[in-house]
Protein backbone atom coordinates (compact mmCIF):
# COMPACT_ATOMS: atom_id res chain seq x y z
CA UNK A 1 0.00 0.00 0.00
CA UNK A 2 2.84 2.41 0.82
CA UNK A 3 4.49 1.77 -2.53
CA UNK A 4 1.27 2.80 -4.37
CA UNK A 5 0.97 5.96 -2.27
CA UNK A 6 4.57 6.94 -3.05
CA UNK A 7 4.05 6.29 -6.77
CA UNK A 8 0.88 8.42 -6.77
CA UNK A 9 2.59 11.29 -4.96
CA UNK A 10 5.54 11.16 -7.37
CA UNK A 11 3.17 11.24 -10.33
CA UNK A 12 1.44 14.35 -8.97
CA UNK A 13 4.75 16.03 -8.11
CA UNK A 14 6.25 15.48 -11.54
CA UNK A 15 3.19 16.47 -13.59
CA UNK A 16 3.52 19.56 -15.77
CA UNK A 17 1.37 21.43 -18.27
CA UNK A 18 2.29 19.07 -21.05
CA UNK A 19 2.08 15.30 -20.83
CA UNK A 20 4.95 14.01 -18.74
CA UNK A 21 6.15 10.42 -19.06
CA UNK A 22 4.59 8.14 -16.50
CA UNK A 23 6.94 7.07 -13.68
CA UNK A 24 8.31 3.56 -13.86
CA UNK A 25 7.53 1.08 -11.13
CA UNK A 26 9.25 1.85 -7.83
CA UNK A 27 12.22 -0.42 -7.19
CA UNK A 28 13.25 0.87 -3.77
CA UNK A 29 12.43 -1.08 -0.70
CA UNK A 30 9.19 -0.11 1.02
CA UNK A 31 11.10 0.89 4.17
CA UNK A 32 12.55 4.08 2.60
CA UNK A 33 9.64 5.95 0.99
CA UNK A 34 10.10 9.58 0.03
CA UNK A 35 7.26 11.74 1.15
CA UNK A 36 6.56 14.80 -0.94
CA UNK A 37 5.40 17.81 1.08
CA UNK A 38 1.82 18.85 0.39
CA UNK A 39 2.88 22.34 -0.77
CA UNK A 40 4.91 20.79 -3.60
CA UNK A 41 2.47 17.98 -4.37
CA UNK A 42 0.74 19.85 -7.25
CA UNK A 43 2.61 22.93 -8.46
CA UNK A 44 -0.11 23.63 -11.07
CA UNK A 45 -3.20 23.36 -8.88
CA UNK A 46 -3.90 27.09 -9.26
CA UNK A 47 -3.34 27.12 -13.04
CA UNK A 48 -5.31 25.62 -15.92
CA UNK A 49 -2.50 24.13 -17.99
CA UNK A 50 -4.74 23.51 -20.99
CA UNK A 51 -4.17 27.09 -22.08
CA UNK A 52 -0.73 28.69 -21.72
CA UNK A 53 -1.96 32.27 -22.10
CA UNK A 54 -5.70 32.64 -21.60
CA UNK A 55 -7.08 35.31 -23.89
CA UNK A 56 -9.24 38.14 -22.68
CA UNK A 57 -12.94 37.43 -23.04
CA UNK A 58 -14.38 38.61 -26.34
CA UNK A 59 -16.87 41.44 -26.23
CA UNK A 60 -20.47 40.40 -26.74
CA UNK A 61 -21.62 40.62 -30.34
CA UNK A 62 -23.41 43.79 -31.37
CA UNK A 63 -27.12 43.06 -31.56
CA UNK A 64 -28.42 46.62 -31.94
CA UNK A 65 -30.42 47.64 -34.99
CA UNK A 66 -30.23 51.34 -34.18
CA UNK A 67 -27.43 53.44 -32.70
CA UNK A 68 -28.27 54.53 -29.14
CA UNK A 69 -27.30 57.92 -27.70
CA UNK A 70 -25.16 56.19 -25.05
CA UNK A 71 -23.19 54.19 -27.64
CA UNK A 72 -22.90 57.23 -29.90
CA UNK A 73 -21.23 59.27 -27.17
CA UNK A 74 -18.44 56.67 -26.82
CA UNK A 75 -17.67 55.98 -30.50
CA UNK A 76 -14.07 55.86 -31.67
CA UNK A 77 -14.15 54.13 -35.07
CA UNK A 78 -16.39 53.80 -38.13
CA UNK A 79 -15.67 51.10 -40.73
CA UNK A 80 -17.36 50.68 -44.08
CA UNK A 81 -16.26 47.77 -46.26
CA UNK A 82 -17.34 46.55 -49.68
CA UNK A 83 -15.92 43.96 -52.03
CA UNK A 84 -13.49 46.36 -53.71
CA UNK A 85 -13.08 49.28 -51.34
CA UNK A 86 -13.40 50.34 -47.75
CA UNK A 87 -12.79 53.13 -45.28
CA UNK A 88 -11.86 53.39 -41.63
CA UNK A 89 -12.62 56.68 -39.91
CA UNK A 90 -11.18 57.21 -36.41
CA UNK A 91 -11.88 59.83 -33.80
CA UNK A 92 -8.79 61.57 -32.45
CA UNK A 93 -7.98 64.66 -30.44
CA UNK A 94 -8.33 66.84 -33.55
CA UNK A 95 -11.59 65.24 -34.75
CA UNK A 96 -12.37 62.47 -37.24
CA UNK A 97 -9.77 61.24 -39.74
CA UNK A 98 -9.86 58.74 -42.56
CA UNK A 99 -6.95 56.31 -42.31
CA UNK A 100 -4.87 54.93 -45.15
CA UNK A 101 -3.21 56.20 -48.33
CA UNK A 102 -6.28 58.30 -49.22
CA UNK A 103 -6.41 59.72 -45.69
CA UNK A 104 -7.93 63.06 -44.83
CA UNK A 105 -9.66 64.96 -42.07
CA UNK A 106 -13.36 64.15 -42.23
CA UNK A 107 -15.75 67.01 -41.55
CA UNK A 108 -17.48 66.47 -38.21
CA UNK A 109 -20.79 67.47 -39.84
CA UNK A 110 -20.34 64.58 -42.31
CA UNK A 111 -19.80 62.10 -39.46
CA UNK A 112 -22.74 63.54 -37.50
CA UNK A 113 -25.08 63.09 -40.51
CA UNK A 114 -23.96 59.47 -40.87
CA UNK A 115 -24.48 58.81 -37.15
CA UNK A 116 -27.87 60.57 -37.25
CA UNK A 117 -28.83 58.14 -40.01
CA UNK A 118 -27.97 55.11 -37.84
CA UNK A 119 -29.87 56.63 -34.90
CA UNK A 120 -33.17 56.79 -36.78
CA UNK A 121 -33.42 53.39 -38.48
CA UNK A 122 -36.49 51.20 -38.34
CA UNK A 123 -36.10 47.42 -38.15
CA UNK A 124 -38.27 44.34 -38.59
CA UNK A 125 -37.01 40.79 -38.05
CA UNK A 126 -36.57 38.74 -41.22
CA UNK A 127 -35.94 35.10 -41.98
CA UNK A 128 -34.63 35.84 -45.49
CA UNK A 129 -31.36 34.17 -46.39
CA UNK A 130 -29.16 36.50 -48.46
CA UNK A 131 -26.95 35.08 -51.20
CA UNK A 132 -24.24 37.71 -50.74
CA UNK A 133 -23.57 40.87 -48.79
CA UNK A 134 -22.76 44.15 -50.55
CA UNK A 135 -21.55 46.20 -47.63
CA UNK A 136 -20.39 45.87 -44.04
CA UNK A 137 -20.81 48.62 -41.44
CA UNK A 138 -19.06 48.48 -38.07
CA UNK A 139 -19.37 51.23 -35.48
CA UNK A 140 -16.97 50.74 -32.58
CA UNK A 141 -16.13 52.08 -29.18
CA UNK A 142 -12.55 50.91 -28.72
CA UNK A 143 -12.66 47.20 -29.60
CA UNK A 144 -16.33 46.84 -28.68
CA UNK A 145 -18.85 46.89 -31.52
CA UNK A 146 -21.76 49.21 -30.85
CA UNK A 147 -23.38 48.36 -34.18
CA UNK A 148 -22.47 45.84 -36.88
CA UNK A 149 -24.39 45.27 -40.13
CA UNK A 150 -23.66 42.95 -43.03
CA UNK A 151 -25.86 44.57 -45.66
CA UNK A 152 -27.38 42.55 -48.51
CA UNK A 153 -29.64 43.69 -51.33
CA UNK A 154 -32.16 46.51 -51.19
CA UNK A 155 -35.79 45.72 -51.89
CA UNK A 156 -38.86 47.97 -51.61
CA UNK A 157 -36.86 50.71 -49.87
CA UNK A 158 -35.44 48.43 -47.16
CA UNK A 159 -32.07 46.76 -46.75
CA UNK A 160 -31.64 43.21 -45.55
CA UNK A 161 -28.99 43.21 -42.81
CA UNK A 162 -27.44 40.49 -40.71
CA UNK A 163 -26.04 41.28 -37.30
CA UNK A 164 -22.87 39.57 -36.12
CA UNK A 165 -24.93 37.24 -33.94
CA UNK A 166 -26.53 35.86 -37.14
CA UNK A 167 -29.96 37.46 -36.74
CA UNK A 168 -31.41 39.21 -39.80
CA UNK A 169 -33.59 42.29 -40.17
CA UNK A 170 -35.13 44.47 -42.83
CA UNK A 171 -33.81 47.97 -42.09
CA UNK A 172 -35.69 51.05 -43.26
CA UNK A 173 -33.88 54.36 -43.67
CA UNK A 174 -30.25 53.33 -44.26
CA UNK A 175 -28.63 56.02 -46.44
CA UNK A 176 -26.10 54.09 -48.52
CA UNK A 177 -24.61 57.32 -49.89
CA UNK A 178 -23.68 58.44 -46.37
CA UNK A 179 -22.17 55.01 -45.70
CA UNK A 180 -20.13 54.82 -48.89
CA UNK A 181 -16.97 52.64 -48.91
CA UNK A 182 -15.33 55.23 -51.22
CA UNK A 183 -12.68 57.36 -49.44
CA UNK A 184 -13.34 60.31 -51.77
CA UNK A 185 -16.93 60.58 -50.49
CA UNK A 186 -15.74 60.88 -46.90
CA UNK A 187 -12.95 63.30 -47.79
CA UNK A 188 -15.07 65.65 -49.92
CA UNK A 189 -15.21 69.19 -48.55
CA UNK A 190 -18.50 70.60 -47.46
CA UNK A 191 -21.15 70.02 -44.82
Which residues pair with residue 96 across a beta bridge?
A: 91, 106
Which residues pair with residue 141 across a beta bridge?
A: 144
Nearest one of 168, 171, 150, 167 to 159, comparing CA atoms: 171
Span 26-49, average pLDDT: 46
Helix, strand counts (H, E) of the chain: 5, 9
191 three-class SS: coil
> Does residue 71 have a pLDDT over 80?
yes
Which one is predicted more confidently, 34 or 125? 125
- pLDDT tens-digit profile of 85-140? 999 999 999 899 998 888 899 999 999 999 999 999 999 999 999 889 999 999 99
pLDDT at residue 65 in the model: 84
Angle at 143 between CA 166 and CA 114, to 5 degrees: 75
- pLDDT tens-digit profile of 111-123? 999 999 999 999 9
Amino acid sequence: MTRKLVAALLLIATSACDDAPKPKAETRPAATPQIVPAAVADPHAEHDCSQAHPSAPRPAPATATVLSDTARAKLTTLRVSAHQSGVTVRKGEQGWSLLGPSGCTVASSRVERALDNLSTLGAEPSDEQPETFDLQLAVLSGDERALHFDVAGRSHGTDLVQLNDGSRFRIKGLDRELWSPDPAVWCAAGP
